[in-house]
Structure 1
């Protein structure tokens, strides 16, 4: 059998078999085409995928749901990072805080305070929902996030922290509002 005959037989087999693949097998084969840098087979696999028509919830609503979940997730990740840094500082400093270490702590606490204020402002003014409710909606099954915020706020209350409104506005505009506006288009009434 010639090479051309083998290629034609393989093409006919692909034309018959590819449409019959289940989603799991098709997915695995497509991933393999990336690994093998086989764009031709990838195109065949993708084009032979059965087509379906779906109905979904209104796009504006869906985007708000997804954007709010993603923003809260980013908030939680950053909150956990701050909590880790604060915990390490407490362990390292103990009760013997030197003036330089105190200044470092104050700088961090000011940053954390600005971060929390920015998130609360974003939720209240741009989404119209209390920040605790936003966290509860997406991570309500895990009370430790609300507890972490409460514990951090209690710690911040022990220090004479003046809100850094400039830093708060940076968090608010560059992170929370920017992401919300990029994802959520205004609804025309």
Structure 2
């Protein structure tokens, strides 16, 4: 007797696409799985599409398990999405601190943002650590023009030789913000 083949998320999406013009039996034969498994995937179409929308890894084979901290996880995920959209660097301790803050606001006293929680959160949401390259973020042209008018007043009284870029100072000696968590592509 052969071992049961479990389809990845990418393969389940493929099943949904194939179901538009093929029967469950034909899809099952093509993928080498049982007809019941294909029918179950078609029945859970909404869950599959939700996982795709929520950036779940395409290599994931099993359904997501509930942890009991879904409220906290959802808030941290929304916060993370917002912060990374603004191209701000995010570290593990920052994610843990944010999770603890949300837990405190929700009145969950038993929650601990452990390294195990962090690893599970990152894996569950398909988030990886990587090096940021290029500029830190785009700036709106209106903001640039506004600062161009303000800058001469701010720099008044200083000699040009005493004005530096931040990345030309010793403050960036131990700059670790080049590495940040981001969604895996």
TM-score (norm 2): 0.28
* Structure possessing the higher relative contact order (Cα contacts under 8 Å, 6 or more residues apart): 1
Q: Give me the TM-score of the superposition, normalised by structure 1.
A: 0.27
Structure (1/2) with the larger helix percentage: 1
